[in-house]
Structure 1
Amino acid sequence: MATPPPTRYILSAGFGRYATHDPNALARFGPDAGHKVKELLARSISQARAAGFEVLPTDINPEDPADSLKRFVEALQSREWSGVNVGFGVRGHKENTVLFERMLGEVRRLAPGARVVFSNGPDELFEAIRRNFLDGGE
Structure 2
Amino acid sequence: EGWHGLQPVLDFALIRTSGFSLTVGGLLAAVLAILVALGLSMLLRRALARYARHNQNVDRAGLYTVTHLLHYVVLAIGILFALEFAGLPITRFALFAGAIGVGLGFGLQSLFANFISGLVLLFGKSLKVGDFVELESD
TM-score calculated relative to the size of structure 1: 0.28
Richer in helix (by share): 2
Higher RCO structure (Cα 8 Å, ≥6 apart): 1
Richer in strand (by share): 1
